Chains A and B, each alone.
Chain A
Amino acid sequence: MSFVKPKFRHPDLPLNEVGYSRADYEGVLSTLCAGCGHDSVSGAIVSACFEMNLEPHRVAKLSGIGCSSKTPAYFLSNSHGFNSVHGRMPSVATGANLANRDLMYLGISGDGDSASIGMGQFVHAIRRNLNITYILMNNGCYGLTKGQDSATADVGSVNKSGHANQFAAIDMAGLALEMGATFVARSFSGDKEQLVPLIKAAMSHPGFALIDVISPCVTFNNNPGSTKSYDYTREHIEATAAVDYVPFKEEITAAYAEGEVLDVALHDGSYIQLSKLAPNWNPFDRIGAINRVHEAKVKNEILTGLIFIDQDHPDLHQMLDTTATPLNQLPQALLIPGPEVLEAVNRAGR
Chain B
Amino acid sequence: MHKLSALNDFVVRFANVNGTGSASANTMFAKAVFRMGIPVAPKNIFPSNIQGLPTWYEVRVSEKGYLGRREGVDLMVSVNPQSMLRDIKVVKPGGYFVYDSTKELYKEYIREDIHYIGVPMMGLCMEHFADPRQRQLLKNMVYVGALSALLDIELEVLQQIVREQFKGKEKLVTANFEAMQMGIDYIHQHYEYPLGLRLERRDEVGDRILMDGNTASGLGALYAGATVAAWYPITPSTSLVQAFEKYATKYRIDPESGKKNFAVVQMEDELAAIGVVLGASWNGARAFTATSGPGVSLMSEFLGLAYFAEIPTVLIDVQRGGPSTGMPTRTQQSDLISAAYASHGDTRHVLLFPSTPKECFDFTADAFDLAERLQTPVLVMTDLELGMNDTMSPPLSWDSSRQFDRGKVLTEAQLEAMTERYGRYKDVDGDGIPYRTIPGTHPTKGSYFTRGTSHDEYAGYTEDALIYQKSVDRLMLKWETAKGLVPEPELYQDGNQSEYGIIFIGTSTYPALEAIDMLRESGIAMDAMRLMAFPFADSVRDFIESHDKVFVIDQNRDAQLRSLLVNELEVHPKNLIKVLNYDGFPVTADYIFKTIQSRVAAGVSA
A349 pairs with B451, CB closer than 8 A: no
Smallest beta-carbon distance B435→chain A, Å: 14
Among B211, B251, B280, B302, point to the contact of A96 (Cβ < 8 A): B280
Q: State whether the Cβ of B97 lies closer than 8 Å to any Cβ in chain A.
A: no
Tell whether, in the assembled complex, residue B452 and residue A55 are in contact, meaning their CB atoms are under 8 Å apart: no
B225 within 8 A of A: yes
Q: Which of A28, A80, A99, A124 contacts B227 (CB 8 A)?
A: A99
- Verify A96–B404 contact, CB threshold 8 A: no
* Nearest neighbor of B443 in chain A, beta-carbon distance: A57
CB under 8 Å from chain B, chain A span 18-39: 28
| B268 proximity list for chain A (CB < 8 A) | 120-121, 124
B residues 63-122 in Cβ contact with A at 8 Å: none
Instruction: Tell me whether B259 and A322 are in contact (CB under 8 A).
Output: yes
Q: Answer whether residue A58 sits at the interface, using C-beta atoms and an 8 A cutoff.
A: yes
Chain A window 318-343, contacts with chain B (Cβ cutoff 8 Å), 1 for yes, 0 for no: 00111111011110101111110110
Question: Is A17 an interface position by the 8 A CB rule?
Answer: no
Give the distance in Å from the alpha carbon of A337 to the alpha carbon of B262 in the complex. 13
Q: Within 8 Å CB of B259, what residues of A?
A: 321-324
CB of B338 within 8 A of chain A?
Answer: no
Query: Is residue A82 within 8 Å, beta carbon to beta carbon, of the partner chain?
Result: yes
Task: Give the distance to chain B from A18, nearest Cβ to Cβ, in Å.
Answer: 9
* Band of interface residues on B: 35 or more
Contact B271 A94 (CB under 8 A): no
Report the bound CA distance from A96 to B443 in whole Å. Answer: 18
Q: Which residue of B is nearest A317, CB measured?
A: B263
Pairwise interchain contact B210-A320, C-beta atoms closer than 8 A: no
Partner of A55, one of B272, B281, B403, B443: B443
Chain B residues whose CB sits within 8 angstroms of the CB of A82 once the complex forms: 279, 282, 449-451
Instruction: Point out the residues of chain A lying under 8 angstroms from B254, CB to CB.
Output: 323, 334
Asked whether, in the complex, the Cβ of B397 is within 8 Å of the Cβ of A342, the reply is yes
Which B residues lie within 8 Å of A91 (CB)?
230, 267, 271-276, 279
Q: Are A77 and B251 in contact (CB-based, < 8 A)?
A: no
Q: Provide the bound-state CA to CA distance between A342 and B215, in Å.
A: 12
Instruction: Report the nearest A residue to B205, measured CB to CB.
Output: A350
Do A328 and B283 touch across chains, with their CB atoms under 8 A apart?
A: yes
Chain A 41-70, CB within 8 Å of chain B: the 1/0 string? 000000000000001111010100000000
**Inter-subunit contact A95/B227 (CB<8 Å):** no
Q: Determine whether the beta carbon of A83 is less than 8 Å from that of B440.
A: no
Q: Tell me whether A85 is interfacial, beta carbon within 8 Å.
A: yes
Asked whether A83 and B263 contact (CB < 8 A) given A78-B444, A95-B280, A98-B285, the answer is no
Contact B271 A339 (CB under 8 A): no
- Residues of chain A with a CB closer than 8 A to B283's CB: 60, 95-96, 99-100, 103, 328
The verdict on A239 contacting chain B, using a C-beta distance below 8 Å, is no
Chain A residues whose CB sits within 8 angstroms of the CB of B441 once the complex forms: 57
Chain B positions 439 through 477: 1 when the CB is less than 8 Å from some CB of chain A, otherwise 0: 111111001111111000000110000000000000000
Q: Is the CB of A80 within 8 A of B448?
A: yes
| Interface status of B209 (Cβ within 8 A of chain A) | yes
A56 to B446, CA, bound (A): 12
Q: Does A81 contact B (CB under 8 A)?
A: yes
Which residues of chain B from 478 to 494 have a CB within 8 Å of any chain A CB?
A: none
Report yes or no: B275 in contact with A95, Cβ–Cβ below 8 A.
Answer: yes
Contact of B447 among A57, A95, A317 (CB under 8 A): A57
- Give the residue among B34, B222, B269, B275 with the most A Cβ atoms within 10 A: B275
Q: Is the CB of B301 within 8 A of A99?
A: no
Identify which of A56, A58, A85 contacts B301 (C-beta below 8 A). Answer: A85
Given that A78-B444, A96-B283, A328-B438 are contacting pairs, would A342 and B398 also be in contact in the complex, using a CB cutoff of 8 Å? yes
A92: interface (CB < 8 Å): yes
Is the pair A84, B439 in contact by a Cβ cutoff of 8 Å? no
Q: Is A295 an interface residue (CB 8 A)?
A: no
Q: Does B437 contact A (CB under 8 A)?
A: yes
| CB neighbours of A57 from chain B (8 A) | 439-444, 447
Interface residue from A95, A324, A337 paired with B276 (Cβ < 8 Å): A95
Write out the residue numbers on chain A whose beta carbons fall within 8 Å of the beta carbon of B281: 95, 99
- Using a Cβ cutoff of 8 Å, how many contacts connect chains A and B? 225
Identify which of A28, A79, A329, A350 contacts B439 (C-beta below 8 A): A79
A93 at the interface (CB under 8 A from B): yes
- Distance of A89 from chain B, by nearest CB (Å): 8
Query: CA A345 – CA B212 in complex, angstroms?
Result: 12
Min CB distance A103 to B, Å, is 5
Most chain A Cβ neighbours within 10 Å, of B247, B439, B441: B439
Closest to B305 in A: A85
B257 touches A323 (CB 8 A): yes
B261 at the binding interface (Cβ < 8 Å): yes
Known contacts A55-B443, A72-B449; A330/B228 CB under 8 A: no
Known: A327-B263, A339-B398. A100 touches B278 (CB 8 A): no
Report A-chain residues with C-beta under 8 Å of the C-beta of B35: 350
Q: Are B396 and A94 in contact (CB under 8 A)?
A: no
Q: Does A102 contact B (CB under 8 A)?
A: yes
Which residues of the partner chain A approach B257 to less than 8 Å between Cβ atoms? 323-324
Taking the closest CB of chain B, its distance from the CB of A46, in whole angstroms, is 15
**Chain A residue at minimum C-beta to C-beta distance from B31:** A350
Could you tell me the distance between the alpha carbons of A82 and B283 in the complex, rounded to whole angstroms? 10
CB distance from B83 to the nearest CB of A (A): 30
A77 touching B271, Cβ below 8 Å: no
Check if A81 sits within 8 Å of B263, measured CB to CB: no
B228 touches A98 (CB 8 A): yes
**CB pair A322 B262 closer than 8 Å:** yes
B260 contacts partner chain A, Cβ-Cβ < 8 Å: yes
Give the Cβ gap from B154 to chain A, nearest Cβ, in Å.
15
Complex: A94 Cα to B442 Cα, angstroms: 22
Interface flag for A161 (CB, 8 Å):
no
B158 within 8 A of A: no
Interface string of A88-130 (1 = CB under 8 A from B): 1011111111111011000000000000000011001000100
Report if A88-B440 is in contact (Cβ < 8 Å); known contacts: A83-B449, A100-B284, A327-B227: no
The answer on a CB contact under 8 Å between B278 and A95 is: yes
Q: Shortest Cβ distance from B448 into chain A, in angstroms? A: 7
How far is A77 from B449 in the complex, measured between Cα atoms in Å? 8
CA distance A28 to B448 in the complex (A): 12
Given known contacts A84-B452, A85-B302, A120-B268, is B223 in contact with A336 (CB within 8 Å)?
Answer: yes
Q: A72-B449, A97-B279, A335-B261 are in contact. List 14 more A-B contacts (CB 8 A).
A: A77-B447, A80-B448, A84-B452, A88-B275, A91-B271, A91-B279, A95-B277, A96-B283, A98-B228, A100-B284, A124-B267, A322-B262, A323-B260, A350-B209
Interface positions of B (Cβ within 8 A of A): 34-35, 209-211, 219, 222-223, 225, 227-228, 230, 247, 251-252, 254, 257, 259-265, 267-269, 271-285, 287, 301-302, 305, 393, 395-398, 400, 403-404, 437-444, 447-453, 460-461
Listed from nearest, the 10 A-B pairs whose CB atoms lie closest are: A95-B279, A91-B275, A349-B209, A99-B285, A80-B439, A95-B280, A95-B276, A99-B283, A92-B279, A328-B284
A sample of 18 cross-chain residue pairs with beta-carbon separation below 8 angstroms, ordered by A number, consists of A57-B444, A57-B447, A73-B461, A78-B443, A82-B449, A90-B272, A95-B277, A95-B282, A95-B283, A98-B287, A100-B285, A328-B227, A328-B285, A330-B261, A339-B398, A339-B400, A341-B251, A342-B223
